[in-house]
Chains A and B, each alone.
Chain A
Amino acid sequence: MSGFGTIIAFVVGDVQRDRVVPPSGITARLTGFAAAAMAFLAVFALALSLASGRLAARWGDELARSSTLRISAPEAQMSEQTAAALRVLETTPGVVSARALTQEEQSRLLAPWFGPDLPLEALPIPQLIEISETKDGYDATGLRLRLQAEVPGAVLDDHTRWRKPLEQAAGRLRVLGIVSVLLIAATTAAMITLAAQAALAANAQVIAVLRLVGARDGYIAQAFVRRFTFRALGGAAVGTVLGLGAVMLLPAASTQGGFLTGLGFQGAGWLWPVLIPPLAGAVAYLATGQAARRVLKELA
């Protein structure tokens, strides 16, 4: 409660205390601009890491529990081999269900490549069987051996071959996004520290006068800290709003666009960017406070 009271007192502040520091036009505008630009970038870094996180989860989770069996066989043996394969799969531990895709489903899958008017019946298209696995999965090597014996035309694809690198790429992308957010926070801190230090150095006379009339370091520091915290807060708020606007202008997630269009926020993810301005304010508060304490100790 007292912590909350301190925050309220800091926000409401003391108008006169703010007046003891002379208004400084260019530093103020630059600090606000830097905070806005960093917040804008932070929105994108957040969007990137959230989207790639979703992607990694989807590929890791959904695809891991499914695999495909492809049967290439002469027309005459196709249905027989399909039935044999389904029999094998149904008796395999770890397989939840196995289902042969219908003619229509197969032509839908091929439509993007060959166009909708392809006469599938005239082509020797392999039969696909969709396999759902339990969480622990099945023994792929054992299944391959059994299939080899009973269904010579079957090829088992457990998706690991292409899933692993994609999953890895998405995971790396997410780490990259998080590292970017951290770098942006650190850069913001560095820039605000430099600006605060410049402002403190430029106001050495003000500080000397305040010390002479009995102002404590805490009083002087607070005047500077308040100013920089509010500049950073305001700048970051503007940058976040602009960044969110830009993200909203991105095309919505869709199956046609692949994973690139998934870049954005979904559901509770929209709450993350709201945290950017207060975090920028907190970073500014800490950075300016430290700079002020350091500079004040150096001054007489």
Chain B
Amino acid sequence: MIELENIAYSYGGGELLSDISLKLSPGSFHFLTGPSGSGKTTFLKLCYGALTPTAGQVRIFDQDVRTMNRDDHALARRRVGVVHQDCQFLDHLPVADNIALPLMVSGRDDIENVSNLKELMHWVGLGNRASALPPELSGGERQRAALARAVIMSPDVVLADEPTGNVDWEMSQRLLQLLIELNRMGKTIMIATHDLNLIRAAKSKVQTRVLRIANRKLQLAGADL
């Protein structure tokens, strides 16, 4: 799916990440932890090609990111669902249209997918907010909408940056359950989070690997969680 080979990334002067290698295989479930500012978001951006590493190689679906043109990136992003920490939407369109946006831009907004949309909105607890505009949503609602948007295309990989940051425990359990269901369907999941309780809850339900970024390196965290 996604392979990183000895990659490094530096912003301006300092190196943020160095010598990182990782292979995300189909059906794997990863958590990514680390102190804030350690480079979790940058790491996720490297994984879906929003950033190009300053050294090393990133391969997305067997394509080297350096050789991909803008259309290749667009097509790759239809297979990678991304949830950002600060979710952005088209503020002039209602939530339902925003969640359906990936279908719209790829020309797959047919009846079958639209009925899935209702189910999905209900699942993330936005069933009665379909016609609200994104600026009217709370932080938690925005995150749920972003997650729904990320998974509506049934992508091969879901990358989520603190997807449960603004939601209560019950909702975070539901979102986690959704991601676990997707994982059982063979999707590759990577969640960057601070929330150790979430990781523990997930470990009881699905086989996960926990990665930790510390001192610019990526380490496999022990079973101590």
Contacts and interface: CB of A to CB of B under 8 A. Distances in A.
A214 B106 contact: yes
B105 A210 contact: yes
Contacts of B70: 216-217, 296-297
Contact of B88 (A16, A205, A215, A219): A205
Interface in A182-222: 205-206, 208-219
Interface stretch (A17-25, A28-36, A45-53, A59-67): A17-25
B59 interface: no
A246 B105 CA distance: 46
Interface stretch (B72-80, B121-129, B200-208): B72-80
A300 B77 CA distance: 14
Interface string B97-111: 100011011100100
B102 A214 contact: yes
Contacts of A211: 73-74, 77
Contact of A22 (B77, B78, B92, B104): B92
Given A19-B97, A20-B93, A300-B50, A213 B105 contact: yes
Contacts of A215: 74, 105-106
B71 interface: yes
Contacts of A297: 70
Nearest to A297: B70
B88 to A, nearest CB: 5
B91 interface: yes
Q: Taking chain A's interface residues, is the majority helix, strand, or loop, or is none over half, making it mixed? A: helix
A23 B92 contact: yes
A297 B78 CA distance: 20
Most buried by B among A20, A22, A216, A217: A216
A76 B76 CA distance: 105
Contacts of B77: 211-214
A27 to B, nearest CB: 14
A285 B101 CA distance: 25
Contact of B74 (A16, A206, A216): A216
B104 A20 contact: yes
Contacts of B9: none
A22 B88 contact: no
B90 interface: yes
Interface string A258-300: 0000000000000000000000000000000000000011001
Contact of B75 (A20, A208, A209, A214): A214
Given A214-B75, A300-B50, A22 B91 contact: yes
B190 interface: no
Nearest to B69: A217
Contacts of A218: 71
Interface in A206-263: 206, 208-219
A211 B82 CA distance: 11
Contacts of B142: none
Contacts of B93: 19-20
Most buried by B among A16, A17, A22, A218: A16
Contacts of B105: 20, 210, 213-216, 219
A209 B101 contact: yes
Interface in B40-99: 50, 70-71, 73-78, 82, 84, 88-93, 97
Contact of B90 (A206, A214, A296): A206
A217 to B, nearest CB: 5
B212 interface: no
B149 interface: yes
Contact of B109 (A16, A23, A213): A16
Contacts of A206: 90
Contacts of A216: 70-71, 74-75, 105
A214 B88 contact: no
Contacts of B91: 22, 205
4 nearest A-B pairs in the assembled complex, by CB-CB distance: A215-B105, A214-B78, A214-B77, A22-B92
Given A208-B88, A210-B101, A216-B70, 15 more contacts: A20-B104, A20-B105, A22-B91, A23-B92, A205-B88, A211-B77, A212-B82, A212-B84, A212-B88, A215-B105, A216-B71, A216-B75, A217-B71, A217-B74, A300-B50
16 contacts: A17-B104, A20-B101, A20-B104, A23-B92, A209-B89, A210-B101, A213-B77, A213-B102, A215-B74, A216-B70, A216-B74, A216-B75, A217-B70, A218-B71, A296-B70, A300-B50
